[in-house]
Chains A and B, each alone.
Chain A
Amino acid sequence: MKKVCIVGTGQTEVGEHWDKSILHLAHKAVTSALLDAQVESVDALFVGNMLSGALSGQENLAAAVADFSGLRNIEAVKTEAACASGAAALRMGYTAVASGLHDRVLVLGVEKMTNTLGHDTTAALGMAADAVYETFQGVSFTALNAMMMQRYMWQYDVPDTGLAGFSINAHRNGCHNPHAMFRHAITEDDYGRSRVISSPLCVLDSSPICDGAAAVVLCAVGSSSLPDSSRHVAPVTILGSAAATDTLAVHDRSDPLRLAAVELSTQQALAQAGADLGNVDFLELHDAFSILGAMSLEAVGYAEPGTGWRYAMDGYIDIEGDLPVSTQGGLKSRGHPVGATGVYQAVEAVKQLQGLAGPNQVANAGLGMIQNIGGSGASVFTHILGI
């Protein structure tokens, strides 16, 4: 297999882009990434997206993006793995280049979630869960996470604001990310007063409904297609790429508080990279809800079951902590345009590894892990990036 590096990145600000269609958002990220890489063409385009059909009435999205962005005639395909669609596209792009099939590809993650009213968007997000035996019961995607949170807090005796640390950390870091949707800090008091969406889960446990697009250009190391730009800034290499699945429905798991696919994909990605957890300098985890932050720390292997929440309370996950998490605001503060999130994580990891993360720079960042979860743990993609 060929080594694959990231030679250019692009991203839009995450937010409610009422004036932009899904194609305009995509185009903005595509052109930024191509400009950053100083290339004009790629062999193929892989688009991560979950809801273009449901919320924009547009399928055949990859061809639409290629057409709209001046990349007509190249291979282009959309990948869908619910909220992990972005990382699924990254892995598609990675395998295409690593296999030698393509030399240089573009990976885009894009989501437009504000075309519809709130309850319609909520219903569309529910499609990540089992259509008949979860969603049809009137269960929102938020409610599934709320039930995991309720059980977790009961089983491990977590105080009412015990999970607040994940959102506080995310907002603190998001303050300094010019692409983040929420650039304000929050306190434990704010969290305690936050409106309940689905008990016990409140607004400040939850990532927002938003729009955004991010893109990366991948290239084979040593290839003649490697752009000139990579001679100036050391390109970031994808050292590990792994994917795993779990039961679609939360209720079908022998332990609904265990993210088995996170465990598996983490172990596989680390093995491929020849690294262990001690080598990881920062972690972009899938904090769509604060409970997923706690459960991810446990499944990745940093925390024992039932103790992940404590790590967010004592500075462990701060930028200066032992394991910086959500360093550019994570899903909670940067925002979670679902199918775009996995590619935002890759863009942010590249900035960290190149020392371009500004006030949120992790000191001596040499190895980063990014993890994207689709559904309530059903599809998980883990990538390890290094310089």
Chain B
Amino acid sequence: MFVPSSWRTRHQRYSLIGEVCPACDKHIFPPRDVCPHCDQPAGPAHKFNGTGVVFSYTTLFQPPAGFESQAPYVVALVQLDEGPMLTAQLTDVEAEEVKIGMKVEMVPRKLMEDGPQGQVHYCYKFRPLWAKTAQAEVPV
């Protein structure tokens, strides 16, 4: 990804910042100029809570340039609990454990780097929701 593009989209990629449409109240991700549901001007920023379910998924064995060292890895269509669907990598889970309908939550992670001297890109990924629950239950 180009450096300015990476910088411009940092809020949505690091923190799942989308929008709520003032006209139809639908949640929108990523932020747009026009609401995809009612075609009115899109609204104020909204931070998504980051939970959702796996709508579909695949394990890639032939990755595009830039992701060669990571293959095989799992990407999914994640339906957020607040409405929109997005495309993201899954993490902290074995490929054979992934199921349609699995509950997941967003975690910010390193996505890739533009070579040894290039920018390191971070983005949202999703992990099974139980990871958060399990962490919370660890006695201090």
**Using a CB–CB distance below 8 Å, which chain A residues touch chain B?**
118-120, 122-123, 126, 130-140, 142-144, 146-148, 150-151, 154, 196-201, 247, 249-252, 256
Contact = CB atoms under 8 A, between A and B. Distances in A.
Interface in B58-93: 58-68, 70, 73, 75-77, 84-89
Given A123-B65, A151-B55, A138 B60 contact: yes
Contacts of B36: 247, 252
A251 B84 CA distance: 8
Nearest to A129: B87
B64 A148 contact: no
Contacts of A137: 75, 87-89, 111, 123
B55 to A, nearest CB: 7
A138 B75 contact: yes
Contacts of B73: 138
B41 interface: no
Contact of B63 (A131, A138, A201): A138
Contacts of B75: 137-139, 143, 147
A154 B57 CA distance: 11
A131 B118 CA distance: 19
**Residue from B66, B84, B89 having most chain A Cβ neighbours under 10 A:** B66
A256 B67 contact: no
A310 to B, nearest CB: 21
6 contacts: A119-B68, A123-B65, A138-B70, A142-B60, A147-B57, A154-B56
A80 to B, nearest CB: 19
A249 B36 CA distance: 12
Contact of B111 (A126, A131, A136, A143): A136
B65 A132 contact: no
Nearest to B36: A252
Contacts of B87: 130, 133-134, 137, 139, 144, 249-251
B123 A146 contact: no
B60 A132 contact: no
B77 A147 contact: yes
A31 B108 CA distance: 55
**Residue from A131, A132, A247, A249 having most chain B Cβ neighbours under 10 A:** A132
A51 to B, nearest CB: 14
Given A135-B64, A251-B86, A147 B111 contact: no
B66 A198 contact: no
A140 B75 CA distance: 10
Contacts of B85: 251-252, 256
Contacts of A130: 87
Contact of A150 (B57, B70, B84, B123): B57
A95 B133 CA distance: 60
A256 B1 CA distance: 26
B5 interface: yes
B9 interface: yes
A198 B57 contact: no
Contact of A140 (B9, B30, B60, B95): B60
A147 B64 contact: no
A140 B55 contact: no
A198 B62 contact: yes
A201 B62 contact: no
A150 B111 contact: no
Contact of B56 (A123, A134, A148): A148
A20 B30 CA distance: 42
B102 interface: no
Contacts of A119: 62-65, 68
A136 B58 contact: no
B131 interface: no
A143 B87 CA distance: 11
B25 to A, nearest CB: 17
**Residue from A119, A136, A138, A199 having most chain B Cβ neighbours under 10 A:** A138
B77 to A, nearest CB: 5
**Residue from A134, A201, A251 having most chain B Cβ neighbours under 10 A:** A251
B120 interface: no
A122 B56 contact: no
Given A119-B68, A134-B87, A150-B56, 5 more contacts: A137-B87, A137-B89, A142-B62, A197-B61, A199-B61
Interface in B96-123: 100, 111-112, 121, 123
Contacts of A133: 30, 86-87
Nearest to B59: A199
Contacts of A200: 58
B112 A122 contact: no
B74 to A, nearest CB: 9
